[in-house]
Amino acid sequence: KKSVRDVEVSGKRVFVRVDFNVPMQDGQITDDTRIRETLPTVKYLIENGAKVILASHLGRPKGQVNEDMRLTLPAKRLGELLGKEVAKADEAVGEAVKAQVNAMNNGDVLVLENVRFYPGEEKNDPELAKQFAELADLFVNDAFGAAHRAHASTEGIAHHLPAVSGLLMEKELSVLGKALSNPERPFTAIIGGSKVKDKIDVIDNLLNIADNVLIGGGLAYTFFKAQGHEIGKSLLDDSKLDVALGFIEKAKKLGKNFVLPVDVIVADDFSADANHKAVDIDSIPADWEGLDIGPKTRAKYAEIIKNSKLVVWNGPMGVFEIDTFANGTKEVAEACATTSGYTIIGGGDSAAATEKFNLASKMDHISTGGGASLEFMEGKALPGVVALNDK
């Protein structure tokens, strides 16, 4: 795929799709990682004399203007990070925006309003895509985090303009792509999270590629149940018992090391001050629920991670938002931070966990994609990437 470095940008109006879908609380951005990660592309374009038009979604406003989801704050933060004036439009298309773009000088930056204020965005309406395209001479997709969405500003627009990837997009695709297509071994994948159904495809694909697949989080209990264990009030996806057994079979057939927790932390309530204890998985009390992996499992997983050349981690090991049940996720994060192997954190909750434990800087790559990195690891093509180079 071509990147922004492979094309002439000087004097051009460049429509850059970024993922400024940052977490916000009480009118404040609580994590600006996604904005900081776009700086290489934005700076490159500024330094090379482009007119930089940035577009993003924020939240899920469902095709309507939502005052809490304007891009005003992300635009302001970008200005602070660049140390440069960043203009903000009140809309994403239309005459007023066109006039603002026409008035831009080379090196200027304009942030458009939330593209999801328009119903056509998520419908990938060709008309809206055309309106976006009319604002620019070149499309740069730097929104890896939204690349799994076939929307007007991620996919549709690429059919109307020369379309290339931005530097963040390029980095994400190269790191994740190399890891999965030509992994250093031993390659360990750690899959956690609460729901089996969300992780079926990723477990399936990584079983083909990795040497070790370690399972944690709420989804583990469906495996225990499938093996005939009492799981008490733990999370269960009753319709996926066969799928769970199928993975154990598949691992055996492929000679892969598919590792389930050997012990867990159970509690008599889903709260910080619940009674809790570590038990082996054949001793889960009938009226308790499992909320984290236990100490034996933590030690076992840490050892495997320490001996790996490549680690890919997606999904927490327990309810890490509550300190009582955070140890499993924390020790996996620490093992990833200290292993000499290359560590890739697959975005979303695992990325938030590494932030929470102040270990983010110790990881080799933290993806800016949540759903996007998951779909990538499932082996799926991302529509926002496929559309590049179309013209």
Residue 341 a catalytic site member: no
Total residues contacting ligand 3PG (rule CB under 6 A)? 8
Binding mask 120-159 for ligand 3PG (x = CB under 6 A): -------------------------xx--x----------
Check binding of 199 to ligand 3PG (CB under 6 A): no
User: Dihedral, CA atoms, 27, 30, 34, 40, nearest 10 degrees?
Assistant: 90
Residues 8-37 that bind ligand 3PG (CB under 6 A): 19, 21
Q: Which long-range contacts (CB under 8 A, 24 or more apart) does 24-33 make?
A: 24/68, 24/73, 27/73, 28/73, 29/73, 29/74, 29/77, 31/352, 31/355, 32/77, 32/81, 33/351, 33/355, 33/366, 33/368
Residue 294 makes CB contacts below 8 A (sequence gap 6+) with 261, 262, 263, 264, 265, 278, 279, 280, 328
The catalytic residue among 1, 123, 195, 380 is: 195
Answer yes or no whether residue 62 interacts with ligand 3PG by CB under 6 A. no
Which of residues 2, 10, 11, 60 is near ligand 3PG by CB under 6 A?
60
| Kind plus residue range of the DSSP H or E element containing 99 | helix 95-102
CA 6 to chain centre: 26
Query: In the complex with ligand 3PG, which residue's Cβ is closer, 74 or 318?
Result: 74
| 42 vs 236 by CB, closer to ligand 3PG | 42
Give me the catalytic one of 309, 371, 379, 380: 371
Residue number closest to ligand 3PG, CB atom: 21
**Pattern 361-380, ligand 3PG, x by CB under 6 A:** ---------xx---------
* 8 Å CB contact between 171 and 45: no
The whole-angstrom separation of Cα 211 and Cα 327 is 25
- Establish whether 371 is a catalytic residue: yes
171 sits near ligand 3PG (criterion: CB under 6 A): no
Catalytic machinery residues: 34, 195, 348, 371
Q: What residue ranges bind ligand 3PG (CB under 6 A)? A: 19, 21, 60, 145-146, 149, 370-371
